[in-house]
Amino acid sequence: MGVVLPSRDVLNIGFAHVAYRMKEVFESRATGIRHFQVFDRAELIRRMPEIDVLVISGLWHNQLLDNAPRLRWIQSIGAGYDQFPIEKLRAGGIPLTRAYGVNRNAVAEHTFALLLALSRQIHLCRDNQAKHRYRQLISNLSEREDELGGKVLGIIGLGHIGSRVAELGKAFNMRVVGTKRDPSTYKGKADLVLPADRSDEVFRQADFLTLNCPLTPETREIVNERSLGLMKPSSFLVNVARGGCVNEAALLQALKTRKIAGAALDHFTEDPLPASSAFWDLENVIVTPHTAGETRKYEENVIDILLENLARIERGETKLLHQVV
């Protein structure tokens, strides 16, 4: 059986996000559907009893279900869904759809911005700029800026985003190797696609290793002391996935002892990253504040998915776009 919603004249959609302006974009579509937006958790808790359709990501917590008598469907604002209680939603008959692909280009471009920054040492230039220091040319080849062409780009997760990263890698004349749960379904430009259980080979080969995977039991702490030990001392790690994909203690040790050359990190186990974190002070680390998916097109892309699914429900279809539950 599909989702059953109240008629449009009484339907109420609640948007919940700390920053994204979902309400404004939804209003521009002139649907005539009642809606409102909250920007903090306290207001969300207060207004949960009014909501038939909840559009949310970071403000989610499981206790919201305790006071949601009208809730019939959750549309995640993000592509990830590890924060949601999947089995509880399934048992309660509350479908969950995710915003798969809305930030594909943004995350892929951010990944490459970090690759280029590490290769061209842009972060060190910025540090020197703050110190008013004009660095001289370098004789030591191992300390010099480098080029991406001819290097091996390793991608953990050749899904929607990872496949786009692979395309960009080929445009820079890199050799691309990566993992995918079912390599037979891959239609992209990577040179070598391996099943997930052969990720060790990607760690060994990569000059630049990017995490473009969801957080699952299989990918949790896929970067750990053992896998870091497989990487070249000259290699770099880029994480634009979840912080939980990385054992942070092992990564800190590898960075401090130069077992790998450096890292660019967009997400951490604790988000926001505390001011006391050692990652802030490492010269060979670039920190971005979970902004890989940021794009001026984000709200429009999410609303497109929301309206497509609303239309499917109204047509009586049982299969929703990017449905998880």
Strands 12-16, 34-38: pairing is parallel
User: What single DSSP character describes residue 101?
Assistant: T
Q: pTM for the complete prediction?
A: 0.90
Give yes or no for a contact between 89 and 274, defined as CB atoms under 8 angstroms apart.
no
Phi, psi of 208 (to 5 degrees): -130, 120
Please tell me the predicted confidence (pLDDT) of residue 2. Answer: 83
Please tell me the predicted confidence (pLDDT) of residue 202. Answer: 98
**Nearest CA-CA partner of 105 in 170, 164, 59, 168:** 164
**Nearest CA-CA partner of 37 in 50, 308, 94, 307:** 50
Residue 13: strand, helix, or coil: strand
Distance CA 169, CA 274 (A): 33
Please tell me the predicted confidence (pLDDT) of residue 131. Answer: 97
Q: Which residue has the tokens 């497989």?
A: 230
**Nearest CA-CA partner of 5 in 226, 271, 317:** 317
* Spans of the chain below 50 pLDDT: none
Does a cis peptide bond (omega within 30 degrees of 0) precede residue 6?
no
Please tell me the predicted confidence (pLDDT) of residue 1. Answer: 64
Please tell me the predicted confidence (pLDDT) of residue 80. Answer: 84
